[in-house]
Chain A
Amino acid sequence: MITASRSEAAGHRSAARRRWAAWTVLLGLLMAGCGTRELPQSALNPAGPVARAQDELWDLVFWIAVGVFILVQGLILFAVFRFRDRGGDEIPKQVAGNTKLELMWTIIPALILVGIAVPTVQTIFELAQEPGEEALDVRVIGKQYWWGFEYLDEDQQGVITANELHIPTGRPVFLRMQALSATQPDPGFDAAPEIGQGVSNGVIHSFWVPRLAGKQDVVPGHTRTLTIQADEPGLYPGQCAEFCGLSHARMRFDVIAHEPAEFDQWIADQAEPAEAAEDGLAAEGEELFQSQQCIACHAIDGYEAAAGTAAEVRIGPNLTHFASRRTFAGGVFDVNDEAQLKAWLANPQAVKAGSQMPNLGLTDDQIDALTAYLYTLE
């Protein structure tokens, strides 16, 4: 047995031991990771029928891959240990090949792949089907670097949010997605610029809520569609998955699923216009909203500007119910974090690179007043 040099064999054994130790530690860490942490954005934790269909295919292929992995690595390890050179000068048999074996390992993998292909193609076509009448119609707007959501159903028109998409449970939601320029007004769903209309329409983004559905790219000049659905009420985080520039990492959003009745109530609340500010500081902020040119980009339904015009420009997010939201600035900051909101108003690029909201050079007093006003927009 010990024809090979003793120290070499010992060296090899200890190398193998080190390797196993490393793998054991690794697996331990992974299990700890799985067990103790929540994975709110995990594709392996589906919360609706679309993501589940995708996950079921994953499960099928994953276990086949594990089987092939064990077979191939097992064969490699076996060959390495069994056929090591143990001295002697006999020459191994010079086998040039074996047609039967080679045919076998061509045909069997091909058959396994056919087995994977059939459910894959079925699911591709199932997922490509548009949902029926019962679906909720929502428009998704991708801009550098935030998401807008506009409810398109007749009784919900005018409800527009940013960075959070509220949906009812148990009902498919049909998303029609458009990429738009960050610096140009949104002309509305039907008038969104198509290819060749001379209007810039931004860059490619990708809409991804892993627990509800896989990605769908949002491509300028095209309207892309995706169906999502949630089983249970809850918060499902998502984010942009196609590199879109400086703040690609800060282009997040939440999908918030409600029981249907609760959702109807939410829609009713959101359909209300904003109320005029009452108290002194907020009223001051309300004025600044116009005089400092916030109004040049942001819409607030019900806002009455001094000249009698409305705040309805759709370049930045619609702020009508700003204070009812969880986050702002592309889903990265907590709305209730007043200091953060003030830092944002003071210098948007300092807290979010590449933000297309200009630095207006506001004074601290102006920022205090604007903040007070924004918090009245519930």
Chain B
Amino acid sequence: MNAVPAESPRSSLKILQRPKAETGLWSWITTTDHKKIGVMYFLATMVFFVIAGVEALLLRIQLAVPENDFLSPDVYNQLYTMHGITMVFFVGIPLGASFFNYIMPLQIGARDVAFPRLNAFSFWVFCAAGIFMYSGVLLGGLPNGGWFNYAPLSTTVGPDVSGYTVGGGSAELGTQVHMGRMLLYSIGLQIAGIATLASAINFIVTILNLRAPGMTLMRMPIFVWMTLVVAFLLLFAIPVIGIALWQLMFDVRFGANFFNPAAGGDPVLWQHMFWLFGHPEVYILILPAFGIISEIIPTFSRKPIFGYTAMVFAGVAIGFLGWGVWAHHMFAVGMGPVANTAFALTTMFIAVPTGVKIFNWIGTMWGGKLRLTTAMLFAVGAVAMFTIGGLSGVTHSVVPSNYQQTDSYYVVAHFHYVLFGGLVFGALGGVYYWYPKVTGRLMNETLGRTNFWTLMLGFNLTFGLMHFVGLWGMPRRIDTYAAGFGWDLLNLIITVGAFIIAGSVLLLIINMASSLRRGQIAGDDPWDARTIEWMTSSPPAHYNFKEVPQISARDELWHRKHAVSEQGDYVRVPAGGAGTVVIHDPDTDIHMPDPSFYPALAAVGMPIMGWALFTSGTGMIVLLAVGCVITVGALFAWAFEPMAEEGH
């Protein structure tokens, strides 16, 4: 079947046309350019980031004072659940994907990713998953079992068996509401998982196959290495949660009993499967930030990364060890002393490669010439804040002490230091660092510094104090608390801190928006950087490099800008290098992937199939059929669409 000659203008499937729009909405919907897809990933991520942030603010208003009734328990539970789901699956993962998409091909000297249409497909499926998940607003409520969604609360029992509160007094109606919310969770995350798996494969193939000549694996920038590690983690972790979600969906919708103790299932099985995915997921979220930090610190220290090999292997080691620590989320479940000991030891020792990274970043700064730009402030801030999260992580590994900490606000403090302090600070460093490459203009540094310091203040007020309320006995996931436990004042300050964070994020958005027009023109290499994405224009042409550079060293660009003097010192030489000699007319001689309608169309069918499970009988069959026809039809057209005609 695949013998249809793509070059043949008389193809029997001539009905399928490549899109022609080069500007406007359709050019974005049909694009296969990794840079445009990266930008779309980033913008979608920002939308979800704001949604999750508003959810967090609502939660904090509710918890600002004891016995508050600003939110009902039902709404509170939906909001805290969606805050977690959104931040992990619709901010954390796609934020990594946006940086991987835009930066990684540039850093390895590729013209695009290996499978450009699959890349577009990943993005649109991710959007479809987000829309599906939030469609609960119109369908009887959002998921409310926590992002961890423990069975049997998420399956057979539910939060209100009799339906007195959520079912208006009817147990049947209550069950229906519960089922709908759990379907959103299980199907929404399965759809998101398809997007993530597809992009993981894409990144792996791209990195392994499309590097510029001379770029050996050990010459790749650390950021590319971290992309590779994360892609492999996703490739193995997503199927685990996929199976668990599939089982959950069957328990909820079709009366299966995977996690139903009454029928011989075991709720602890869900926890093992969830965390077997969930812990690698933590590294999936943090390693991209480690990669970004490892690009920023060398550039602004004017030194190569300290201990490149150790940094690479520490990242890979974290990836491997990350698979052996999952049950440290379950020390209080009652697994017994032997299992608890095993997971305590693995958890402690994952701190070693993490520590190596921190010391190597400090080693990179040591003896350098540090320019404290906003990007550098965020990168160094991320190292400092992540260190605090890492240290509280070591306190968690001490199992008897963990019995006190787990499920308290101390844990909330811990993982926000890791994920907000590490991932968000690191990613914001990446935003300030690569914004000029993406837009051609620099962001405003004064606003940037204000953004950094207010975020630092708000972040530490909010999450720093959570350590204390947690140790003072405040459990997580409670929608209110009584006065008299010593938590009142701190909770009020925490809420104030959350609003300072919100204000700081507003500054960031203003800065990004206003710099788009008013920012200083950046030029190709505004930071005097070290890696090859800074050799091409800002923003890069759609083919990235006129001529793919020949790589002869790590920090290729830096070596092109410097020569060794007779005394053995490095001296600055006039900028030269690739791109100065144009041997092609790039617009006609470089073969670039064509745009396509079908990746986006294929994504459209998926939530429709998901919504089918909310109905029954004929309605269900019709919706399933419609969704299936759209997705399978689009994949078919995708397989057989022709190349665009030359010279259009």
A80 & B380 in contact (Cβ 8 Å cutoff): yes
Cβ distance B402 to chain A, nearest Cβ, rounded Å: 7
Q: Is B83 an interface residue when CB atoms closer than 8 A count as contact?
A: no
10 closest cross-chain pairs (CB), A and B? A214-B403, A41-B473, A245-B159, A221-B261, A249-B478, A196-B264, A97-B307, A43-B404, A128-B337, A37-B486
Across the interface, which residues of A come within 8 angstroms of B570, CB to CB? Answer: 91, 94
A245 & B367 in contact (Cβ 8 Å cutoff): no
* Sample (25) of A-B pairs whose CB atoms are under 8 Å apart: A39-B472, A40-B486, A41-B472, A65-B395, A76-B362, A76-B384, A83-B365, A93-B303, A97-B310, A123-B399, A128-B336, A196-B264, A197-B262, A198-B262, A199-B262, A201-B262, A214-B332, A214-B403, A220-B152, A242-B150, A245-B159, A246-B166, A348-B164, A349-B165, A359-B164
Whether A76 contacts B352 in the complex (CB less than 8 A), given A18-B453, A33-B489, A198-B262, comes out as no
Across the interface, which residues of B come within 8 angstroms of A229, CB to CB? Answer: none
Cβ distance B81 to chain A, nearest Cβ, rounded Å: 9
Residue in B closest to A91 when the chains form the complex, CB atoms: B570
A123 and B401 CA atoms in complex are apart in Å by 10
Cβ distance B367 to chain A, nearest Cβ, rounded Å: 6
Whether A26 contacts B475 in the complex (CB less than 8 A), given A33-B490, A183-B162, comes out as no
Across the interface, which residues of B come within 8 angstroms of A213, CB to CB? Answer: 403
A245 and B309 CA atoms in complex are apart in Å by 48
A216 and B334 CA atoms in complex are apart in Å by 7
Whether A215 contacts B261 in the complex (CB less than 8 A), given A83-B370, A246-B74, comes out as no
Cβ distance A328 to chain B, nearest Cβ, rounded Å: 14
A197 and B264 CA atoms in complex are apart in Å by 7
Within 8 A of A (CB), among B462-478: 464-465, 468, 471-478
* Contacts A84-B372, A93-B367, A249-B480 supplied; 7 other A-B pairs, CB < 8 Å: A83-B366, A91-B302, A95-B303, A97-B307, A98-B306, A116-B394, A214-B405
Q: Is A92 an interface residue when CB atoms closer than 8 A count as contact?
A: yes
Of B366, B456, B464, B484, most buried by chain A (CB within 10 Å of CB) is: B366
Across the interface, which residues of B come within 8 angstroms of A97, CB to CB? Answer: 306-310, 360, 363
Whether A39 contacts B372 in the complex (CB less than 8 A), given A26-B464, A92-B301, A102-B360, comes out as no
A72 & B387 in contact (Cβ 8 Å cutoff): yes
Within 8 A of A (CB), among B127-156: 145-146, 150, 152-153, 156
A80 & B365 in contact (Cβ 8 Å cutoff): yes
Q: Is B263 an interface residue when CB atoms closer than 8 A count as contact?
A: yes
A220 & B261 in contact (Cβ 8 Å cutoff): yes
Residue in A closest to B152 when the chains form the complex, CB atoms: A203
Q: Is B351 an interface residue when CB atoms closer than 8 A count as contact?
A: yes
Mask for B345-365, Cβ within 8 A of A = 1, else 0?
A: 100110110011011101101
Within 8 A of B (CB), among A235-256: 237, 239-249, 252
Q: Is A266 an interface residue when CB atoms closer than 8 A count as contact?
A: no
A22 & B457 in contact (Cβ 8 Å cutoff): yes
A80 & B372 in contact (Cβ 8 Å cutoff): yes
A241 & B387 in contact (Cβ 8 Å cutoff): no
Q: Is A268 an interface residue when CB atoms closer than 8 A count as contact?
A: no
Residue in A closest to B481 when the chains form the complex, CB atoms: A249
Q: Is A326 an interface residue when CB atoms closer than 8 A count as contact?
A: no
Across the interface, which residues of B come within 8 angstroms of A204, CB to CB? Answer: 150, 152-153, 267
Q: Is B620 an interface residue when CB atoms closer than 8 A count as contact?
A: no
B398 & A116 in contact (Cβ 8 Å cutoff): yes
Of B159, B356, B362, B371, most buried by chain A (CB within 10 Å of CB) is: B159
Contact of B400 among A41, A101, A113, A120 (CB under 8 A): A120
Q: How many A-B residue pairs have CB under 8 A?
A: 350
Q: Is B629 an interface residue when CB atoms closer than 8 A count as contact?
A: no
Q: Is B18 an interface residue when CB atoms closer than 8 A count as contact?
A: no
Whether A57 contacts B348 in the complex (CB less than 8 A), given A79-B370, A195-B264, A243-B150, comes out as no
Residue in A closest to B490 when the chains form the complex, CB atoms: A33
Contact of A354 among B73, B268, B362, B475 (CB under 8 A): B73
Residue in B closest to A60 when the chains form the complex, CB atoms: B398
B74 & A353 in contact (Cβ 8 Å cutoff): yes
B473 & A353 in contact (Cβ 8 Å cutoff): no
Across the interface, which residues of B come within 8 angstroms of A125, CB to CB? Answer: 337, 341
B471 & A44 in contact (Cβ 8 Å cutoff): yes
Within 8 A of A (CB), among B368-422: 368-372, 380, 383-384, 387-388, 391-392, 394-395, 397-408
Within 8 A of B (CB), among A295-323: none
A113 and B397 CA atoms in complex are apart in Å by 10
Cβ distance A227 to chain B, nearest Cβ, rounded Å: 12
Q: Is B572 an interface residue when CB atoms closer than 8 A count as contact?
A: yes
A11 and B453 CA atoms in complex are apart in Å by 12
Across the interface, which residues of A come within 8 angstroms of B336, CB to CB? Answer: 128
B158 & A61 in contact (Cβ 8 Å cutoff): no
Cβ distance A194 to chain B, nearest Cβ, rounded Å: 8
Q: Is B333 an interface residue when CB atoms closer than 8 A count as contact?
A: yes
A interface vs B, CB < 8 Å?
A: 11-12, 15, 18-19, 22, 26, 29-30, 32-33, 37-44, 51, 53-55, 57-58, 61-62, 65, 68-69, 72-73, 75-76, 79-80, 83-86, 89, 91-98, 101-102, 105-106, 109-110, 113, 116-117, 120-121, 123-125, 127-128, 144, 181-183, 193, 195-204, 206, 208, 210, 213-217, 219-222, 224-225, 237, 239-249, 252, 332, 348-349, 353-356, 358-359
Cβ distance A7 to chain B, nearest Cβ, rounded Å: 11
Q: Is B32 an interface residue when CB atoms closer than 8 A count as contact?
A: no
A98 and B146 CA atoms in complex are apart in Å by 46
Residue in B closest to A348 when the chains form the complex, CB atoms: B164
Q: Is B20 an interface residue when CB atoms closer than 8 A count as contact?
A: no
A51 and B471 CA atoms in complex are apart in Å by 12
Residue in B closest to A88 when the chains form the complex, CB atoms: B369
Across the interface, which residues of A come within 8 angstroms of B569, CB to CB? Answer: 91
A309 and B161 CA atoms in complex are apart in Å by 29
Within 8 A of A (CB), among B236-267: 261-267
A246 and B71 CA atoms in complex are apart in Å by 12
B164 & A356 in contact (Cβ 8 Å cutoff): yes
Q: Is B485 an interface residue when CB atoms closer than 8 A count as contact?
A: yes
Residue in A closest to B270 when the chains form the complex, CB atoms: A204
Mask for B322-342, Cβ within 8 A of A = 1, else 0?
A: 000000000011101100110
Residue in B closest to A247 when the chains form the complex, CB atoms: B73
Within 8 A of A (CB), among B164-201: 164-166, 169
Q: Is B533 an interface residue when CB atoms closer than 8 A count as contact?
A: no
A354 & B263 in contact (Cβ 8 Å cutoff): no
A85 & B150 in contact (Cβ 8 Å cutoff): no
Cβ distance A202 to chain B, nearest Cβ, rounded Å: 6
Whether A19 contacts B301 in the complex (CB less than 8 A), given A215-B404, A216-B332, comes out as no
A249 & B307 in contact (Cβ 8 Å cutoff): no
B473 & A113 in contact (Cβ 8 Å cutoff): no
Cβ distance A280 to chain B, nearest Cβ, rounded Å: 32
Of A12, A41, A225, most buried by chain B (CB within 10 Å of CB) is: A41
A44 and B366 CA atoms in complex are apart in Å by 38
Residue in B closest to A15 when the chains form the complex, CB atoms: B453
A102 & B356 in contact (Cβ 8 Å cutoff): yes
